[in-house]
Amino acid sequence: MPTEQDGRATPQSVSIDLDDVPTGRRSFHVALVSGGMDSTVAAAVSQEVAPTIDVLAYLDTGTGLDANREYIEDLADALGAQLWTLRTHESYAEKVRENGYPGPSRHGMMYNFLKERQLGKLAKGRDDLVLWTGVRSHESERRMAHVEGVQEADRWTWVAPIHDWTKQDCREFLDERDLPENPLWDTLGRSGDCFCGCFGSREELIDLEAEGYEDHAEWLRNLDTETDDETTLWAWASLSEHQQRAARVDEDQMTLCSTCAVPDGGEAGGE
């Protein structure tokens, strides 16, 4: 449970070793925001405990809701932070046209062009890119065992300042700081930043329609496709538990896809 000093999160309340976080003159610190509650809290916490947060960054997958992007803009204003939107230049619609709707087996490919490449470009020419995220170990049993506060990856360093916080901790922090909340948390139960569909279900489209986003649901449902293979169409919910366990993903994909039902490398589920 986070504690406070002078109304701010402290290194005592955030159990990461700040000595492990790159702080050199050429280090570049980015708080990744998706519109979800965890990344919102983590961005605010990061501003309080990081040596610096240079920018907030939103990975715009081109599949998310405008309402989510607008929330992130409001959040950046509330935090007094510069916001960079890293939008994929590749088209989800074009991928669907060429290959059909993706299922779990194509998550790696979708993750790569929707998110990973944007981070790769951000890392280019930078010695020490530090990515602050809202990943939490309480999201699942496997993360409980694997998530660390600071993790070195090939091209950057992941920092998860709220890795050991509970959902209740996040809610309390939000209230205490009076941070803006995304209306989508209550309506859709998620941020609405992307809809690759790899682990989606048709019910998500029905939820979108029920909450007034009929146009977005219709767009997702009616993308042209040159294949007649519909076996992967938003098929995650129709897979058996055994099939879900078979759809493993690596740690990076788990870090940035934590709000979808991405399997924990063998244990189906998620938030």
Q: Is 207 helix (H, G, I), strand (E, B) or coil?
A: helix
CB of 92 to ligand SF4, least distance (A): 10
Nearer to ligand SF4, 13 or 191 (CB): 191
Q: Choose among 200, 209, 217, 210: nearest CA to 260.
A: 200
Nearer to ligand SF4, 111 or 165 (CB): 111
Nearer to ligand SF4, 16 or 67 (CB): 67
- As a whole number of angstroms, the distance between CA 213 and CA 30 comes to 31
CB of 115 to ligand SF4, least distance (A): 6
Angle (CA) 187-191-196 rounded to 5° is 115
CB of 126 to ligand SF4, least distance (A): 24
Nearer to ligand SF4, 95 or 163 (CB): 95
- Cβ proximity of 129 and 156 under 8 Å: yes
Q: Radius of gyration over alpha carbons of the chain, in Å?
A: 18
Nearer to ligand SF4, 9 or 198 (CB): 198
CB of 116 to ligand SF4, least distance (A): 10
Chain residues that interact with ligand SF4, rule: CB under 6 A: 107, 110-111, 114, 194-196, 198-199, 257, 260, 262
- As a whole number of angstroms, the distance between CA 8 and CA 47 comes to 10
- As a whole number of angstroms, the distance between CA 19 and CA 140 comes to 27
CB of 72 to ligand SF4, least distance (A): 15
Tokens 């950057």 -> residue: 156
